Amino acid sequence: MSEEKSDETFWKGMAKKHWVFFLILGLLVVGLIIGFFTILLTYVANSDLGGYGTWNLGQFSVGTGIAWFLLLILWELLIGFLPFIGVCCLFVAIYWFVVVSEEDKVAFKAREKKEKKKKHRQKEGGGITFLFTIAFLIVVFVEGHWLTPVGNLPYSYWIQAWLTGFIWVCIVAGIPILILAILYLVYKSKKSK
């Protein structure tokens, strides 16, 4: 509890002392958000894949939808995120080497060493949803509906395709897990005798 309070007072003190730094970083983040929306609207209006903004959702196929999103992410990274990271790194480096006093640098470095010693337990997702999504996309591709517009197929098809992918993941992952569980139980029962 006192450690959390110490962290809170440390960061409050640094925020008061270096308020200009945090203000400029905040303005850079606001600029990034505005840039992301600008890039999104420009891409929608000029994307060949989406009919220059005229397609409805029913005209997209799974393949064109994925390609559209991949190209959007690429443009967001190239035009928005990478320049933002470069400007932030340049700003932080200039601020660190020119503005921050030696005593503040020592305090930051001491805090960093102290936090490296702490063990952080992180809760991680297993990625099972990603696995189910990949299986669903494989089912759609194998059945030949990769470039079929989404609106041309009934919604029951999409549900059945997802369930088929789900069942295949359960079969492919479940059989080895079941075999390992049986081997483990046999090993435990022999060991206990």
pLDDT tens digits, 76-88: 999 989 999 999 9
Write down the pLDDT at residue 122: 59
Asked whether 168 and 139 are in contact (CB, 8 A), the reply is yes
From residue 22, alpha-carbon distances to 9, 27, 50, 91, 96 in Å are 16, 9, 39, 11, 13
> Is 32's pLDDT higher than 60?
yes
Q: Retrieve residue 9's tokens.
A: 């007072």
Write down the pLDDT at residue 137: 92
pLDDT more than 90, % of the chain? 17
**pTM check: above 0.85:** no
What is the CB neighbour count within 10 angstroms for residue 80?
A: 20
Write down the pLDDT at residue 3: 55
- Backbone phi and psi for residue 33, each to the nearest 5 degrees, phi listed first: -65, -45
From residue 189, alpha-carbon distances to 66, 114, 180, 186, 193 in Å are 50, 46, 14, 5, 7
Map tokens 């730094």 to a residue.
21
What average pLDDT does the segment 15-36 reach? 85
What average pLDDT does the segment 100-111 reach? 78
Write down the pLDDT at residue 76: 92
